[in-house]
Homo-oligomer: A and B are copies of this chain.
Amino acid sequence: MAEKQVFVKEITPKSEDFSRWYQDVIRKAQMADYSMVRGCMVIPPYGFAVWELIQDALDRRLKASGHQNAYFPLFIPKSLLEKEAAHVEGFAPQVAWVTRGGDEELEEPLAVRPTSEAIIGSMYAKWVHSWRDLPILINQWGNVVRWEKVTRPFLRTTEFLWQEGHTVHATAEEAEEETLRILDIYIDLVENELGIPVIAGVKSEQEKFAGALRTYAIEALMSDGRALQAGTSHNLGQHFARAFGIQFEDKDQTVKHPWQTSWGVTTRLIGALIMVHGDDSGLVLPPRVAPYQAVVVPISVGDWKESVLPHAVAITRKLSDAGVRVKLDDREEYTPGWKYADWEMRGVPLRLEIGPKDVQRSQVLSVRRDNRAKAPIGWDSATTAVPALLEIIQKNLLEQARDFRAQNTTEVKDYQELERVMSDKRGFIIAPWCGSPECEDRVKEDTTATIRVIPLDSKPDTKCVVCNKEGSRRVYFAKAY
């Protein structure tokens, strides 16, 4: 157990310094590493395997709902980026510019895409002619670059990985339906695969995407009481279609601008996973996005290689054949105690220990990562018991996060309480807001909290927490990442 103590000591306790805890976990669990390039991170294999599982889960949902993947250029000519006024205003301060190719100075600088509305819009103007060409339901997996002053692994980096959907529709109604369909897919992904409960709603005008008509978002509460925007779905209206000259002949033979949407989730979801589920021993991964769902650790005592190891190999193969992502840790240079701590730190949902006594009883001892509960599992029932236990862990993590959020969501009575809660326990605050940017700014200035979303079912039936104006809606405030 000596190694375990030493090992865990390397992670700063969460309660002591959340930010350092986060960085310790990321480094020790090999989720990300710092590179020589300012603000750019490296995602090593273990962290990247989590991203691949998230990608698979989302890609499946997008394809099942009729979307197709495609690829558009990394570079956007300056003049093209500038076509939509609000869009360029929003993104220009964050753009990395290519000004030289080989030995040649470029006549026109090229933006490294911060997002692809402009370049994709220019192609849609070529592709869309008739109502028969619609809808276009395209998604792209790729990298984007936003020049950031302050960066933090996964949460805000100069380059990050994401998917960006870009759709074109014949009517305003269809575009709005698509925007909400994607919001539902994101809710399903984040809650059911990542075990993170979210609040869905509309962004205020100030917080919406540069160039959008309306931005929907899902917001999750991190365990330090800050909110994280986990995905956005934008109804772009006809803004980009007008800017980029996208037109189609409708069934009634009139020429119209189509309606568009765009939407994305990023590698920031991995940051959310870490911050929502992690604890002082490190990462806690929900089984559906865990590279290894179970690790088999043979107890290396006596003639374990003859007496225990063959059974560990057999149970590993059996589980693997049953579709469980399982790893056998048969390394000789580490003790079982060291391995327990190592796999705990890396967030593996289930540990299966097997020693001489377990062999006698034809069982393994399962230890859950989420609550450390131990229970023997017979070899014969393992292929059903292990997947069932993984499902229980998956659900429990979502429930735990829901409980935490409930305990850290405060519906405040007045502005004083809003200020007090924000400076004290933080979390989500539900308070009525009249809709004015002035009241929104006031809260931001006094508390640094912003309106995260206006829930979809929020009714204008109460008084603004700032100005007392009637006809205000309950919205979610929080300090955000």
Contact = CB atoms under 8 A, between A and B. Distances in A.
A447 interface: no
B97 A99 contact: yes
Given A48-B69, A77-B36, A94 B98 contact: no
Given A36-B80, A77-B36, A97-B101, A143 B145 contact: no
- Report how many copies the assembly holds: 2
Interface in A452-473: none
Interface stretch (A118-126, A351-359, A422-430): A118-126
A92 B75 CA distance: 19
B95 A42 contact: no
A93 to B, nearest CB: 5
A291 to B, nearest CB: 9
A478 interface: no
B123 A33 contact: yes
Interface stretch (A102-110, A281-289, A363-371, A393-401): A102-110
A112 B143 CA distance: 12
Contacts of A77: 36-37
A237 B227 CA distance: 49
A41 B126 CA distance: 14
Interface in A12-52: 33, 35-37, 40-45, 48-49, 51-52
B93 A35 contact: no
A159 B41 CA distance: 22
Contacts of A158: 75, 101
Q: Chain A, interface size: which category?
A: 35 or more
Interface in A54-79: 68-77
A96 interface: yes
A475 interface: no
A146 to B, nearest CB: 9
Contact of A109 (B100, B147, B159): B100
A439 interface: no
Given A97-B99, A98-B112, A74 B159 contact: yes
A142 B51 CA distance: 14
A147 to B, nearest CB: 4
Contacts of A181: none
Given A99-B97, A101-B96, A123-B33, A52 B69 contact: yes
Given A72-B42, A147-B102, A333 B33 contact: no
Interface of A: 33, 35-37, 40-45, 48-49, 51-52, 68-77, 80, 92-104, 109-110, 112, 119, 122-123, 126-127, 132, 138, 142-143, 145, 147, 158-159, 161, 333
Complex A-B, nearest 5 residue pairs according to Cβ-Cβ distance, in ascending order: A45-B68, A40-B73, A101-B147, A97-B100, A43-B71
